[in-house]
Amino acid sequence: MIYILFFFIYNPYNMNIFKAMKPDKVYKGVNDIPLDELRSMGKTCLLLDFDNTLGPDHATRPDQYAYDFIKKITDAGFSCCLVSNAKSGRSSGIAKLLEIPCVTYAHKPRPDGVNRALKLLGKDRDEAVMIGDQIFTDVIAGRLASVYTIMVEKYSSREIWYVMLKRPLEKIVRLIGRF
Ligand SMILES: [Mg+2]
């Protein structure tokens, strides 16, 4: 949240904060994302948040939902990378089990982690899609990195307290931004 305030005051990326908070598209869950449509837009790689996007918040291992989605996108020809703010041990453990690359300590909402993921995959930003459940981390990071950004509704209502604190603010932003 401190970072958001900093953003308001200094605007280091020269982007309107309201634009930065609005995703390109919103879907109920990752399985509702139209992969064909993304492909026809020239997208080839999906940068994925884990907590409450691909599984329960703060899980230490992926569940079937995550395995199935990764299989689905890999079969559809997309490359992917986990972009997580979590401690490196937990997120790299999850990525290892899912057999996908991972960027840890992504520092979302800063765009650094997204940029690191693009470098790791050798992809251009036009080819990438950032997918996550939170405006103040995933959406802003994707928008600041100038990649197509998709927000999904949270996987489960159970989440850690500091994420819960941000949800009422998200509601306000979504009301104003109409998404
Ligand atoms: Mg999340």
Q: Where are the beta strands (DSSP E) in 33-127?
A: 45-48, 79-83, 102-103
Largest CA distance in the chain: 44
How many Å apart are CA 178 and CA 136, to the nearest integer? 16
End-to-end CA distance of the chain: 21
Copy the structure tokens of residue 115.
């940029």
pLDDT of residue 157: 87
Whole-structure pTM value: 0.93
Taking the centre of ligand 1 as the mean of its atom positions, its distance from the CA of residue 8, in whole angstroms, is 23
Copy the structure tokens of residue 116.
């690191």
Taking the centre of ligand 1 as the mean of its atom positions, its distance from the CA of residue 170, in whole angstroms, is 13
**What is the crossing angle of helices 88-98 and 64-75, to 10°?**
60
pLDDT of residue 8: 66
Taking the centre of ligand 1 as the mean of its atom positions, its distance from the CA of residue 132, in whole angstroms, is 6
pLDDT of residue 10: 66
Which residues are placed with Cβ below 5 angstroms of ligand 1, an ion? 49, 51-53, 133
Residue showing tokens 């996987």: 155
pLDDT tens-digit map of 19-37: 899 999 999 999 999 999 9
How many Å apart are CA 5 and CA 137, to the nearest integer? 13
Taking the centre of ligand 1 as the mean of its atom positions, its distance from the CA of residue 86, in whole angstroms, is 10
Averaged pLDDT score across all residues of the chain = 93
In the chain the domains, ranked by start, together with CATH numbers, are 2-177 (3.40.50.1000)
Question: pLDDT tens digits for the chain (179 residues)?
Answer: 666 766 666 676 777 888 899 999 999 999 999 999 999 999 999 999 999 999 999 999 999 999 999 999 999 999 999 999 988 889 999 999 999 999 999 999 999 999 999 999 999 999 999 999 999 999 999 999 999 999 999 999 888 888 888 899 999 999 999 99
pLDDT of residue 9: 65
